């Protein structure tokens, strides 16, 4: 239990809610908090984000890459189509509504959707602290012996901060995953999540005849393969996949109903075994699949090579299937990587070592960062064994053992509940509705317990350095070691 045990800190500021991470999930919560609660009942809320500004998967904002979801499933419409925060209102304010209609699409560029979310985020500048990485969430016991608040520990420019909150939402997204032989730091091995920032550093000359490997068969791998081939037209670029072929994502209408908000209820109510079956059955809506139009574009590019040079001698792009990376050779230098690759073709295995100037690993994400952040709260669970799942209720709250946490406090998880809430959980699909459910669960509970309303978070204060929240909301922020200098060297990407 944290060092704040007991009520010796009764005079310190206690936030009603601290959200860890300010990606789309938390942004939707910010919007719902502002829109759902009656005027005069603006709670004391703070969002902590490790990046220096709101940006949505910056390493993959590739030119021309499109959304994989209708813009109508934006951060507000499905909860309240009249919200000020709809994508359509964004277009209207940016004076592009009619031009967008003329595009005739439901799928904006990722670049535009990122701009939409930045536009939304800019309206919450006074309640977000950017450049701040949360490191741990600790429970605090009241004098009565139940946990009634949490200490949120964070680091900002190497300096530690601590704040108290009754509720904590953990919405930290995914952690890049690299397969075992490649899960080491090497300047020429890059996960797709860092593609845009690290590749230009590693390969400085766009005209050089580099040897580039891309690994994976999902949307990230396909987008990176296509993009890197056009950025480095003289390079030889090979896409290595384990399976037979690139497969299309299923976004057909009947299947797509699993992403309806109402499907979350159904999924949650089924048995764990049925849930597992459904996740497997519908996996091709999201994982290890590529949008058909991109598959067709890649096929077209490979075909044109064949047309122009039947011998294959000058081909720059290639796809090699049935191939796995089994090792990283010690001969690898800072400028090259030698991979041991195993290929199974017609039942025959061949192993070869191949040298590359760059390896881009597009092998997906794991959503388990909450386990580490919440480690001190594990002792409050019924099953507190290391590695046991944090049990989650339908309203996304962690189910602590009876009597351990008081009714007006709690922890909520977002984006890591696929096994209980379904495939939409990691996506944008239900964010508007889900944010409403979380806000309802936290603040209606609070009001029924007579807690915390009437706080003002004064949205009018236009601070731009992300620290306004502390001035605005954290008037008695605990143990503030540092009130400025948050812009120094903090990781603003993954890791």
Ligand X SMILES: NC(=O)c1ccc[n+]([C@@H]2O[C@H](COP(=O)([O-])OP(=O)(O)OC[C@H]3O[C@@H](n4cnc5c(N)ncnc54)[C@H](OP(=O)(O)O)[C@@H]3O)[C@@H](O)[C@H]2O)c1
Partner interacting with residue 332 (select from ligand X, ligand FAD, none; CB below 5-8 Å by kind): none
User: Residue 36: which of 460, 428, 457, 440 has the closest Cα?
Assistant: 440
Q: Residue 53, exposed/middle/buried by CB under 10 A (0-12, 13-18, 19+)?
A: middle
Q: What b/e sequence results for 370-408 when a residue is b if at least 16 CB atoms lie within 10 Å of its CB, and e otherwise?
A: bbebbebbbebbeeeeeeeebebeeebbbebeeebbbeb
Residue closer to ligand FAD by CB (options 408, 425) is 425
Told to check if 219 binds ligand X by CB under 6 A, we report: yes
Told to check if 217 binds ligand X by CB under 6 A, we report: yes
Residue closer to ligand X by CB (options 152, 428) is 428
Told to check if 20 binds ligand FAD by CB under 6 A, we report: yes
In the list 49, 161, 408, 437, the residue contacting ligand FAD (rule: CB under 6 A) is 49
In the list 17, 69, 294, 405, the residue contacting ligand FAD (rule: CB under 6 A) is 69
Told to check if 23 binds ligand FAD by CB under 6 A, we report: yes
Partner interacting with residue 288 (select from ligand FAD, ligand X, none; CB below 5-8 Å by kind): ligand X
CA distances from 298 to 88, 208, 227, 319 (A): 32, 22, 10, 10
The residues in 450-489 that bind ligand X, with binding defined as CB under 6 A, are: none
Q: Residue 243, exposed/middle/buried by CB under 10 A (0-12, 13-18, 19+)?
A: exposed
Q: Residue 232, exposed/middle/buried by CB under 10 A (0-12, 13-18, 19+)?
A: buried
Residue closer to ligand X by CB (options 211, 242) is 242
Told to check if 414 binds ligand FAD by CB under 6 A, we report: yes
Structure tokens at 494: 């993954």
479: left (phi over 0), alpha (psi -120 to 50) or beta: left
In the list 30, 31, 125, 134, the residue contacting ligand FAD (rule: CB under 6 A) is 134
The residues in 286-305 that bind ligand X, with binding defined as CB under 6 A, are: 286-288
Minimum CB separation of residue 105 from ligand X in Å reads 14
361 contacts 191 by C-beta, under 8 angstroms: yes
Q: What is the C-alpha radius of gyration for the chain, rounded to an integer number of angstroms?
A: 24
Measure the CA–CA gap between 119 and 350, rounded to whole angstroms: 52
Query: What are the residue ranges of helices labelled H in 97-234?
Result: 97-103, 110-122, 195-202, 219-231
In the list 359, 428, 430, 432, the residue contacting ligand FAD (rule: CB under 6 A) is 428
Structure tokens at 90: 């964004």
Partner interacting with residue 472 (select from ligand FAD, ligand X, none; CB below 5-8 Å by kind): none
Told to check if 238 binds ligand X by CB under 6 A, we report: no
Minimum CB separation of residue 492 from ligand FAD in Å reads 7
In the list 33, 44, 51, 148, the residue contacting ligand FAD (rule: CB under 6 A) is 51
Structure tokens at 372: 């580490």
In the list 46, 48, 140, 381, the residue contacting ligand FAD (rule: CB under 6 A) is 48
Residue closer to ligand X by CB (options 199, 221) is 221
Told to check if 133 binds ligand FAD by CB under 6 A, we report: yes
Told to check if 74 binds ligand X by CB under 6 A, we report: no
Residue closer to ligand X by CB (options 12, 251) is 251
In the list 117, 172, 178, 439, the residue contacting ligand FAD (rule: CB under 6 A) is 172
What sign does the CA torsion over 438, 87, 267, 425 have? negative
- Classify 301 as helix, strand or coil: helix
Measure the CA–CA gap between 324 and 217, rounded to whole angstroms: 12
Partner interacting with residue 428 (select from ligand FAD, ligand X, none; CB below 5-8 Å by kind): ligand FAD
Which residues are near ligand X by CB under 6 A? 60, 65-68, 110, 179, 192, 215-221, 223, 242-243, 286-288, 324-325, 362-365
Which residues are near ligand FAD by CB under 6 A? 20-26, 48-51, 56-57, 60, 67-69, 133-134, 171-174, 414-415, 426-429
């Amino acid at each position: 239990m944290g060092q704040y045990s007991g009520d010796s800190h009764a005079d310190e500021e206690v936030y009603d809610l601290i959200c860890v991470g300010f990606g789309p999930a938390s942004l939707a919560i910010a919007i719902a908090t502002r829109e759902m609660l009656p005027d005069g009942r603006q709670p004391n809320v703070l969002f902590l984000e490790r990046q220096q500004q709101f940006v949505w998967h910056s390493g993959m904002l590739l030119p021309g890459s499109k959304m994989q979801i209708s813009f109508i499933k934006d951060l507000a419409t499905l909860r309240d189509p009249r919200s000020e925060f709809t994508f359509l209102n964004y277009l209207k304010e940016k004076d592009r509504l009619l031009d967008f209609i003329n595009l005739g699409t439901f799928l904006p560029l990722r670049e535009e959707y990122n701009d939409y979310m930045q536009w939304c985020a800019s309206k919450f500048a006074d309640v977000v602290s950017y450049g701040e990485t949360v490191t741990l969430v600790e429970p605090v016991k009241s004098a009565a012996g139940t946990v009634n608040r949490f200490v949120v520990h964070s680091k900002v420019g190497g300096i530690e901060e601590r704040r108290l909150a009754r509720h904590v939402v953990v919405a930290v997204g995914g952690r890049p995953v690299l397969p075992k032989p490649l899960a080491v730091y090497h300047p020429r091995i890059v996960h797709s999540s860092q593609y845009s920032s690290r590749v230009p550093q590693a390969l400085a000359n766009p005209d050089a005849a580099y040897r580039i490997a891309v690994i994976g068969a999902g949307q990230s791998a396909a987008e990176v393969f296509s993009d890197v081939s056009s950025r480095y037209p003289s390079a030889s670029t090979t896409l290595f996949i384990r399976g037979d072929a690139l497969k299309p994502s299923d976004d057909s209408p009947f299947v797509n109903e699993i992403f309806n908000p109402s499907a979350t209820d159904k999924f949650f109510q089924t048995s764990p075994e049925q849930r597992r079956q459904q996740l497997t059955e519908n996996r091709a809506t999201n994982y290890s699949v590529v949008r058909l139009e991109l598959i067709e574009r890649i096929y077209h590019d490979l075909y044109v090579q064949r047309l122009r040079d039947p011998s294959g001698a000058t081909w720059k792009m290639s796809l090699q299937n049935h191939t796995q990376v089994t090792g990283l050779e010690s001969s690898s230098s800072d400028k090259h990587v030698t991979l041991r690759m195993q290929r199974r073709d017609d039942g025959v295995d061949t192993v070869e070592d191949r040298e590359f100037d760059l390896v881009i690993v597009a092998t997906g994400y794991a959503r388990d960062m909450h386990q580490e952040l919440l480690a001190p709260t594990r002792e409050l669970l019924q099953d507190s064994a290391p590695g046991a799942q944090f049990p989650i209720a339908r309203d996304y709250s962690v189910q602590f053992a009876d009597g351990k946490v008081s009714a007006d406090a709690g922890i909520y998880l977002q984006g890591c509940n696929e096994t209980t809430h379904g495939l939409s959980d990691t996506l944008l699909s239900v964010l508007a509705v889900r944010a409403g459910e979380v806000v309802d669960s936290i603040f209606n509970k609070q009001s029924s317990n007579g807690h915390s309303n009437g706080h003002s978070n004064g949205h009018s204060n236009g601070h731009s350095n992300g620290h306004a929240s502390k001035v605005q909301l954290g008037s008695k922020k605990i143990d503030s070691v540092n009130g400025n200098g948050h812009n120094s060297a903090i990781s603003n990407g993954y890791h």
